[in-house]
Amino acid sequence: MRLAALAILSIALAPLPASPETRAHLAGSLDADAGLVPFTPYAAEAEPVGTFTLDGREGGDLRAAPGTLVLTTPTGALTAVAAIDAPRYGPRRVDPKNGRPLRLDAAADAVCTTGGEPGCWRSGDPLPGSREVFDALCRATRFVSTPDGLRCQLELLGDDAELQSSGASYASTLASVTAGNPGAATAWGASFVTALNVDPCDAFRDDGAGSCTQAASDPSDPIWAADGPTLNAVLTDAQEALLGCGPFWGSDCEVDGIDLFRAEGGALSNPWADSSEAERDDAGEAVILPGARGVADLGYDAAVDGCSTPDAGPACADAAVLVPPPSVATDAPFESEMSAAAWNFYSVFEFVLQSTVPPPPATSPPSGSQIGCGGCAQIGRRDYLEYPFFTRLLDDDPSGLPLERWVWESGAPYAITEATGDLAAFAGGTAYVLGPEVPRVAPPRPCILGPCAPPPTAPTIGVPIVLVAPEGASPDPSSPFVERGVGPDGELGTPDDVVLPLAFAYGVVPEPDAAPLAGAAMLALAVLAGAQPSPRLRRMRGSGGEGSGSKARPVTCSYASM
């Protein structure tokens, strides 16, 4: 009977590969009715303004061997080719046993226990990811006027200019907002922050063996320390490393600032997500990075991961339960201290928006901190950071874990060889093809606002595309993809705006019509119910006991894009 069901299923699904991942790497190209739309928060739902094709070299997986990109609209066209030796952008390399960064050229089995081993990253070593994509996204976000001039908010994280008349730098202030420091949060205008716990190893250096030495950590900024604990006082070295700063990176989080280009995207992408968004492959096992683990995760250690509840063990006896502040629509606890830090971090970027972002679709919840899915209260802030900074790669991406990462840590550059019409200024520039990724669609409407709405039908694959014009070029502002930035008046959305040498597009491969196959497929699936596919990697999760137990998770929103 089971064999018969398998036969029915194979016939029913023969025209369709079994998953988006299979479609991507078997075909070696994306060109079947693929639409091109402006890059917006829910790009996959937008009306196409053109088409695109994307081929893998010699029919290979386009993610591992990219070949040619072609964009076509009624008013312009563009062709770009990836060189054979073009870099393939990936996430930062780390020692999965302690979270210390590794060199890009370190051996596959390299370790970095103390920071002195040959494979350890050192100041001045190259970093992963595309700096040009990072800088492009920075230029397209809202700018802030500082004593040093206009700065995009990504740059503010490391700016040593004084914040207004506070006496503290932007870097120190934004780090302390992330710590939930009330004085820094008030100075920045942030709301809804949660004060993190001061844990036993927060004030001392990591010893490389799951504990800490007696060597003191970096001191706190006295300006904000008068109002409560600052970032240096509430996070361990491993937790700070997830923010791209601290001793593992040879920096001081409050002096040099948080560095998103070096940070772990999965640790910041969603405060309510499972801790496993920040994971790596360790000898065939998917392990959660030190610093990001919650009490329910295998390997949890309060000396490394901090405390989110006094129930986490003797070291956490004096800790408070970390929950959102009372003004937020949920009191569900954060599952890790790093999740609470990510929640606070969203307050730093509460006003980061692309200048061309339209309002969310009517079926999605209003942006704002007090409305969320089932009371989760994270919808508004997630919009700000998910677009355009994060991507969720397909499950079988050849670059490996993590699947949740910064967009500048995925894809490859393509040299633009031809461009016409309103894209002509990009000839000679670079196209960055990121992903492919799980398509970006709006979340379902929260039940608390009325009847629950199912998520829209998701396309098969989404492909973010960033175009960077050559130096001195002036793109045509009539193009639907060309980005505008802040002008001399320091405000976005005014006649003073300038046209940036950047364009953002999004390729969408639609879900094929499976209606004729539905009956046979459902019959086969009914017979096969209960069969489970083998995972690519077995995730390490605890089964019980302190530091490895399971627990009920709070109700959270599930973005189809994530």
Is the dihedral angle over the CA atoms 33, 36, 42, 45 positive or is it negative? Answer: negative
Residue 59 domain-assigned (yes or no)? yes
Q: Which residue has the higher pLDDT, 371 or 65?
A: 65
Q: Which residue has the higher pLDDT, 485 or 390?
A: 390
Residue 360: per-residue pLDDT: 37
Do 502 and 462 belong together in one domain?
A: yes
With helix as H, strand as E and coil as C, how does 207-275 read? CCCCCEEEEECCCCCHHHHCCCCCHHHHCCHHHHHHCCCCHHHCCCCCCCCCCCCCCCHHHHCCCCCCH
Q: How far, in Å, CA of 257 to CA of 353, rounded?
A: 21
Do 416 and 494 belong together in one domain?
A: yes
Assess whether pLDDT exceeds 80 at residue 487.
Answer: no
Nearest residue to 242 via CA among 260, 258, 263: 263
Assess whether pLDDT exceeds 80 at residue 541.
Answer: no
Number of neighbours of residue 186 by Cβ within 10 angstroms: 14
Residue 54 domain-assigned (yes or no)? yes
Assess whether pLDDT exceeds 60 at residue 4.
Answer: no
Residue 465 domain-assigned (yes or no)? yes
Give the largest CA-CA distance in the chain.
76
Q: Which residue has the higher pLDDT, 112 or 284?
A: 112
Number of neighbours of residue 468 by Cβ within 10 angstroms: 23
Q: For strands 149-152 and 143-146, give the pairing.
A: antiparallel
Nearest residue to 435 via CA among 385, 469, 384, 388: 388
Residue 529: per-residue pLDDT: 38
Residue 450: per-residue pLDDT: 54
Query: Where does the pLDDT of residue 515 fall: very low under 50, low under 70, confident under 90, or very high at 90 and above?
Result: very low
Do 191 and 83 belong together in one domain?
A: no
Q: Residue 6: CA atoms inside 13 Å, Cβ hemisphere, count?
A: 4
Residue 455: per-residue pLDDT: 58
Residue 316 domain-assigned (yes or no)? yes
Assess whether pLDDT exceeds 70 at residue 368.
Answer: no
The mean pLDDT of the chain is 77
Q: pLDDT tens digit string along 325-355?
A: 876 767 789 999 999 999 999 877 764 433 3
Do 221 and 81 belong together in one domain?
A: no
Q: pLDDT tens digit string along 201-251?
A: 998 888 877 788 888 889 999 999 999 999 999 999 999 999 999 999 999
Do 77 and 149 belong together in one domain?
A: no
* Start-to-end C-alpha separation, the chain: 37
Residue 156: per-residue pLDDT: 86
Residue 93 domain-assigned (yes or no)? no
Query: Where does the pLDDT of residue 460 fall: very low under 50, low under 70, confident under 90, or very high at 90 and above?
Result: confident
Look at the block and give the residue holding tokens 């590969």: 17
Residue 239: per-residue pLDDT: 96
| Low-confidence winner among 70-79, 304-313, 368-377 (lowest mean pLDDT) | 368-377
Number of neighbours of residue 514 by Cβ within 10 angstroms: 12
Q: Give percent helix, percent strand, percent coil of the chain, each to the nearest 5.
A: 25, 20, 55
Residue 232 domain-assigned (yes or no)? yes
Task: Tell me how many domains the chain contains.
Answer: 2
Distance of CA 562 to the CA centre of its chain: 9
Assess whether pLDDT exceeds 80 at residue 127.
Answer: yes
Do 237 and 372 belong together in one domain?
A: yes
SS3 527: helix
Query: Could you give the strand order of the β-sheet that contains 279-282, starting from the edge strand earlier in sequence?
Result: 279-282, 285-288, 538-539
Do 179 and 297 belong together in one domain?
A: yes
Residue 523: per-residue pLDDT: 36
What is the average per-residue pLDDT within 451-472?
A: 81
Do 483 and 551 belong together in one domain?
A: no
Phi, psi values for residue 172, rounded to 5°: -65, -40
Look at the block and give the residue holding tokens 């993610």: 63
Do 271 and 235 belong together in one domain?
A: yes
Do 426 and 552 belong together in one domain?
A: no
Do 255 and 375 belong together in one domain?
A: yes
Q: pLDDT tens digit string along 163-191?
A: 888 899 999 999 999 999 999 999 988 87
Do 37 and 176 belong together in one domain?
A: no
Residue 11 domain-assigned (yes or no)? no
Residue 105 domain-assigned (yes or no)? no
Is the dihedral angle over the CA atoms 124, 131, 386, 441 positive or is it negative? Answer: negative
Domain boundary among 471, 497, 512: 512
- Domain span holding position 467: 32-87+411-441+457-512
